[in-house]
Amino acid sequence: MHDVVMLETPPLPRVVDDGVFDAYGWCASDVLEWRRPRVLSTERRVESANPPGLVFVLRDASAHAFLPRELARLHAFGYGLDDEEALAPWAIDDATDRLYEHRARPHDVFWLAAPALDTLVWGLHDWAHFHNHGPFDRPAMTELQCDLLALAWLRRNARAIGLDDAALGRVAHDLAALSRGRFADEGVAAPVPDLDALFSGPYPAAPLAQGHGGSTASFHSSV
């Protein structure tokens, strides 16, 4: 059995520098419909690849034929799905571009199937991408912004999800480790010296310094 939970995903200011996104907050995020199992698995850590079971199911596939699609029941199990279609799991980047091009509000397009905590975290991360368009030529900074949004939304909805402080702390630790690896792979400095402290704390109240030379972003609201 699955319950429907409406997760609050309000817009938050951009904290990375100006060049990372070309249309931050082109659509103000508001709510994500999540269909969740009665008992949420929290054992898996948040890792670099999208976990199995993360599925954005289309409300009306015919109205959004511009998106790459596959049968939802091939990827989301136990939801009673038949001929419903979902965003192809490989097409998150394509969806980010095409939703922006067609000015399609993500909540009008999708609901989220996510059977476990790591799946939900990645779903929220992708939800951030869908509302904030960028060229993705600075991946580590782009992903940092989306991770910070996802974590802030997770904390906001912790009671509705059923998460305690320990579970939230594990997610924050995992996201910090992923971010550290991305900056290392890209060969650039992170915008803060301690990513663990960044993710352990509240959503930043001011722009982060750039990893490229120490200048700062202008604080830009997504609304």
pLDDT at res. 49: 86
| 134-137: long-range pairs with CB below 8 Å, 24+ | 134/20, 134/21, 134/22, 134/23, 134/24, 135/22, 136/93
Q: For residue 8, is pLDDT > 70?
A: yes
Name the DSSP letter for residue 53. T
**Per-residue pLDDT tens digits for 60-92:** 999 999 999 999 999 999 999 999 999 999 999
**pTM score of the predicted model:** 0.93
pLDDT at 210 over 70: no
pLDDT, tens only, 170-197: 999 999 999 999 999 999 999 999 999 9
pLDDT over 80 at 213, yes or no = no
Query: 123 CB contacts (<8 Å, ≥6 apart)?
Result: 32, 34, 54, 56, 112, 114
Alpha-carbon gap, residue 99 to 97, rounded angstroms: 6
The residues near 195 (Cβ < 8 Å, ≥ 6 apart) are 176, 179, 180
Single-letter amino acid code for the residue at 148: L
